Amino acid sequence: MQYLPQIIFLVVAGFFGFLILKRIKQISDNIKLGKAANLSDNKSERLRIMLLVAFGQKKMFKRPIPAFLHLLIYLGFILINIEVLEIVIDGFFGTHRIFAPYLGTFYTFLINFFEVLALGVLISCVFFLIRRNILRVGRFHKVEMKGWPTLDANLILIIEILLMVAILGMNGADQVLQTRGVDHYTVTGIFSISASMFPFLNFVDTSNLILIERGAWWFHIVGIFAFALYVTHSKHLHIFMAFPNTYYGRLIPKGQMINMEEITNEVKIMLGMPVEGEATPPPEGMKFGAKDVNDLSWKNLMDAYACTECGRCTSECPANLTGKKLSPRKIMMDTRDRLEEVGKNGLEDGKSLLGDYITKEEINACTNCNACTEACPININPLDIILQTRRYVAMEESGSPASWNAMFQNIETNFAPWKFGAQDRFNWANELKEEQ
């Protein structure tokens, strides 16, 4: 029976570990449904951007207050994991605070430091809950946030608060048990934040105190395992995806559209220009533009999994600001939701991203102003998806708005988007000479 806690720990860790790995495989397979895009160039520049934007959170600081609160949670997440490492080792080997004897007073300092971070995380999460639900910051309550996305956001904050309460409760009970000289409870020195619980914990008898300490310990570690699994199904996945997502982000100017090379050869043939190498017609069944998730690049799909639905893009989008249906955040959420659906049911389910999720009314409303890509703290690009779906509508369906079709026709016949004669293009010069 002595090994029972260790066995339970192994089983629990194995159970969640298996499910998390399975989910990672699923996400990776889904992203691989996207079209090829070679983004293995300029490694040092990519690394620099990742360190600055993801690790350094540079773009978050355009809005200083949420950036500061977010930073507290981020630091807490990264650094408290060192304590989690100790908890995992203790769990596997049936030890208790295994680092304490080796680190001595530094251990006391470390745990104190983690407690300050834990308090920071706790306070930030409370602030964020207030901002979301009481102050009701506008971007958290757009139509695309109804239902699961709102619940998801609140659950994340509540789980994080509970985990922090558990870690502080565990430390508090532990210290009282130390003063009572209970077996296994190595004397460590005072942890200042959780020590504030002494007045309450001192009244609890030793057996119940052990129950509290063990309960909090188990709740915290199982909570972390479960939360890690939850994260892979949630918008909160950005904590991992922000890194590859910024690494593989665009290095070219925001204004540059990705060229469709498959069209270039055909155009050259039509214009009677020499074609490099063997002129190959486009492969059978090739689509122009994007109708479904597999027509997008793998990077577009990675973007979708990286989005944490903060809505900074939507709150800066001129179309959305003036009441149009377009919301860049919804473009990303739709892409992810459709990708998840395709991952489960396959592509041949009679549905598609364009049509069943994203409508033409939305993509037509985009002004290509890049406010969304500029606003995104982790360089997600909703505009690229919009432009690819527009290509599908224009070239595969000839379904662009009538005035755009007229504009195309003007360019074809007059070489200008308006209905002016090509012979009048240079009239301004004569006008100017006459005016002089």
Partner 1 sequence: MNEMEIPTVADLVAKGERPDVLFWVGCAGSYDDRYKNVTKAFVKILNKVKINFAVLGPEETCTGDPARRAGNEFLFQMQAMANIQVLDGYEIKKIVTACPHCFNTLKNEYPELGGNYEVVHHSQFLQELINEGKVELKGGGEFKGKKITYHDSCFLGRANDVYSAPREVLEALDAELVEMKRCRTKGLCCGAGGAQMFKDAEAGDKEINIERTEEALATNADTIAVACPFCMTMMSDGVKNKEKEESVKVKDLAELIAEHEGL
Judged by CB, which is closer to partner 1: 95, or 414? 414
Contact 301, 244 (CB under 8 A): no
Both structure tokens of 98 = 């295994």
**412 near partner 1, judged by CB under 8 A:** yes
The answer to whether the CB of 362 falls within 8 A of the CB of 334 is no
Q: How far is the CB of 174 from partner 1 (least distance, A)?
A: 49
Interface with partner 1 in residues 73-132 (CB under 8 A): none
Nearer to partner 1 by Cβ, of 26 and 359: the residue is 359
65 sits near partner 1 (criterion: CB under 8 A): no
416 binds partner 1 (CB under 8 A): yes
CA 215, chain centre distance (Å): 32
Between 43 and 433, CB nearer to partner 1: 433
Measured from the CB of residue 416, what is the shortest distance to partner 1 in angstroms? Answer: 4
The nearer residue to partner 1, 200 or 415, going by C-beta atoms, is 415
Q: Which of 46, 132, 139, 268 binds partner 1 (CB under 8 A)?
A: 268
Distance CA 270, CA 178 (A): 84
In degrees and rounded to multiples of 5, residue 297 shows phi and psi of -80, 160
The reply on whether position 280 binds partner 1 by CB under 8 A is: no
Total residues in contact with partner 1, by rule CB under 8 A: 73
Query: CB of 204: closest distance to partner 1 in angstroms?
Result: 54
Query: By C-beta, is 67 or 387 nearer to partner 1?
Result: 387
Q: What are the C-alpha distances in Å from 408 to residues 272, 366, 411, 414?
A: 22, 18, 5, 10
Q: 148 or 420: whose CB is closer to partner 1?
A: 420
Q: How many CA atoms lie within 13 A of 75 on its CB side?
A: 18
Tell me whether residue 146 or residue 419 sits nearer to partner 1 (CB atom): 419
What is the smallest separation between the CB atom of 321 and partner 1, expressed in angstroms?
A: 7
Residue 171 or residue 297: which is nearer to partner 1 going by CB?
297
d(CA 210, CA 218): 12
Interface pick for partner 1 out of 270, 274, 286, 350 (rule CB under 8 A):
270
**Amino acid at position 301, single letter:** L
Residue identified by tokens 């910051």 is 137
- Output Rg (C-alpha) for the chain, integer angstroms: 28
Under 8 Å CB-to-CB from 84, ≥6 apart: which residues? 221, 224
Between 197 and 383, CB nearer to partner 1: 383
Segment lying near partner 1 (by CB under 8 A), choices 41-49, 77-85, 157-165, 415-423: 415-423
Tokens of 62: 């355009």
For residues 133 and 211, the answer to whether their CB atoms sit within 8 Å is no
Residue 257 in the binding site for partner 1 (CB under 8 A): yes
Torsion of CA 331, 337, 341, 346, to 10 degrees: 30
**Of residues 19 and 395, the one with the C-beta less far from partner 1:** 395
Asked if residue 200 binds partner 1 (CB under 8 A), the reply is no
Residue 340 contacts residue 30 (beta carbons within 8 Å):
yes
Per rule CB under 8 A, is residue 390 in the interface with partner 1? yes
According to the binding rule CB under 8 A, does residue 21 interact with partner 1? no
Q: Name which position in 255, 274, 283, 346 contacts partner 1 (CB under 8 A).
A: 255
Nearest one of 213, 214, 218 to 197, comparing CA atoms: 213
Q: Does the footprint of partner 1 cover residue 394 (CB under 8 A)? A: yes
User: Any idea which residue has 């179309």 for tokens?
Assistant: 319
Residue 424 contacts partner 1 per CB under 8 A? yes
> Do the Cβ atoms of 119 and 193 come closer than 8 Å?
yes
Q: How far is the CB of 368 from partner 1 (least distance, A)?
A: 3
Which of these segments, 7-15, 91-99, 207-215, 254-262, binds partner 1 (CB under 8 A)? Answer: 254-262
| C-beta of 48 vs 214, nearer to partner 1 | 48
Restricting to residues 307-336, name those near partner 1 by CB under 8 A: 316, 318-319, 321-326
Contact residues for 416 (Cβ-Cβ < 8 A; gap 6+): 410, 422, 425
Identify the DSSP state of 205.
-
The Cα–Cα gap between 61 and 78 comes to 19
- Closest separation in Å from C-beta 410 to partner 1: 9
Nearer to partner 1, 173 or 313 (CB): 313
User: 339 phi and psi, to 5 degrees?
Assistant: -65, -40
Tokens of 193: 């934040």
CB of 297 to partner 1, least distance (A): 16
Q: How far is CA 37 from the centre of its chain?
A: 20
| Pattern 339-378, partner 1, x by CB under 8 A | ----------------------x--xxxxxxxx-xx----
Q: How far is the CB of 271 from partner 1 (least distance, A)?
A: 6
